[in-house]
């Protein structure tokens, strides 16, 4: 499955609206915002159809995955949007992650957990909120939780340190960027290590750079640290390093910019577990026949570190 999909789940008393563009969406919300009601309405509709009193409007079939036989059930679901309610313990298991990879579905996971087994985007963590009430009907919509973070230019001249999740090509690139501004670059050697690395540095002007397309499981902890009065660090979360290199238009291939404008239309969920993998594959494929710019995650070719190209990458960050 690929593309954007809008779901409207409606009864006489309540309406839910959710818009998806990625294969993994995390759905959260305060108590009494209707998360359990949403799952029950979908389940009733799946079982009884319109006789349930529920209407589901979507261009894809919506299914609810539950119970101890979830894996057998999942094997029969194709090209659908699959909802999993909180309390389903299998959602945090490696078995679920492995089974997930073999499907072409989109998934909406109602959970408060940080699911480290799944690479979901910070932009795919949604919060269910009550929007309006009229004609004795309540309207609820899902909004990105971290839209509240201010979008600002990355002013490297005000940064004291760079902290990257990557220990390979990304660290190599941002070390070079840091040299231009007299900034030390530190590697966390993995996104799971960022919290530990930033704790002793949180009162310094540190810029954390991580792949936003897969940073969802770590975002909650980092966001909490950002709310502390003493915290001065900030975040730069491009989709991925490969996305940034493509966005800087170093290859001169105009169709790439079109793909980056509407990535959901090009990313088939059965082929790519996360958007980060899609952008990596795209950059590798587009450079494999050009030795001097052939992309390698382990070691960045000198082409990307040339002064002219470095300036383009920095300009794209801003």
At 157 the pLDDT is 83
Full strand arrangement of the beta sheet holding 161-164 = 184-187, 161-164, 206-209, 234-236
CB-facing half-sphere around the CA of 212: CA atoms within 13 A: 13
At 154 the pLDDT is 67
Q: At residue 318, does pLDDT exceed 90? A: no
Domain 5-147 belongs in CATH node 3.40.1350: no
What is the distance between the alpha carbons of residues 309 and 182, in angstroms, rounded to a whole number? Answer: 19
Higher pLDDT, 103 or 32: 103
* Per-residue DSSP letter, 151: P
Q: At residue 118, does pLDDT exceed 80? A: yes
Q: Which of 136-140, 188-192, 226-230, 262-266 is predicted least confidently?
A: 136-140
At 151 the pLDDT is 54
Q: Which of 5-14, 116-125, 140-149, 224-233 is predicted least confidently?
A: 140-149
Mean pLDDT of 123-137: 85
88's CB contacts (< 8 A; 6+ apart) are 65, 66, 70
Contact (CB, 8 A) for 149 and 125: no
At 104 the pLDDT is 94
Give 144-198 pLDDT, tens digit per residue.
888 766 555 667 888 999 999 999 999 999 999 999 999 999 999 999 999 999 9
What is the domain partition of the chain in residue ranges?
A: 5-147, 156-317
At 72 the pLDDT is 95
Provide the pairing of β-strand 14-20 with 137-144: parallel
SS3 content of the chain, % helix, strand, coil (to 5): 40, 20, 35
What is the distance between the alpha carbons of residues 151 and 144, in angstroms, rounded to a whole number? Answer: 14
């Amino acid at each position: 499955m690929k593309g954007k999909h809008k779901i409207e789940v409606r009864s006489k008393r309540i309406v839910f609206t959710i818009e998806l563009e990625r294969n993994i969406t995390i759905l959260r919300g305060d108590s009494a915002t209707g998360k359990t009601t949403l799952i029950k309405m979908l389940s009733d509709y799946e079982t009884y159809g319109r006789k349930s009193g529920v209407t589901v409007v979507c261009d894809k079939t919506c299914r609810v995955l539950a119970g101890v036989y979830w894996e057998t059930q999942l094997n029969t679901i194709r090209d659908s949007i699959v909802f999993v309610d909180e309390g389903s313990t299998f959602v945090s298991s490696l078995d679920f992650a492995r089974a997930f990879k073999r499907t072409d579905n989109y998934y909406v996971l109602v959970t408060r957990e940080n699911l480290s087994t799944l690479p979901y985007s910070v932009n795919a963590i949604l919060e269910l909120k009550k929007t309006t009430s009229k004609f004795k009907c309540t309207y609820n919509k899902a909004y990105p939780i971290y839209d509240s973070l201010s979008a600002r230019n990355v002013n490297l001249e005000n940064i004291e340190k760079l902290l990257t999740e990557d220990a390979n090509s990304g660290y190599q690139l941002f070390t070079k960027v840091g040299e231009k501004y007299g900034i030390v670059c530190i590697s966390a050697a993995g996104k799971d290590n960022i919290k530990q690395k930033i704790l002793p540095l949180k009162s310094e002007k540190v810029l954390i750079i991580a792949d936003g397309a897969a940073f969802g499981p770590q975002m909650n902890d980092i966001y909490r640290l950002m709310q502390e009065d003493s915290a001065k660090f900030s975040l730069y979360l491009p989709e991925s390093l490969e996305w940034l290199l493509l966005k800087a238009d170093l290859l001169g291939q105009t169709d790439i910019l079109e793909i980056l404008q509407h990535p959901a239309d090009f990313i088939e969920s059965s082929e790519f577990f996360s958007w980060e993998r899609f952008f990596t594959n795209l950059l590798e494929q587009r450079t494999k026949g050009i030795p001097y710019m052939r992309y390698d995650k382990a070691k960045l070719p000198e082409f990307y570190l040339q002064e002219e190209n470095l300036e383009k990458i920095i300009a794209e960050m801003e």
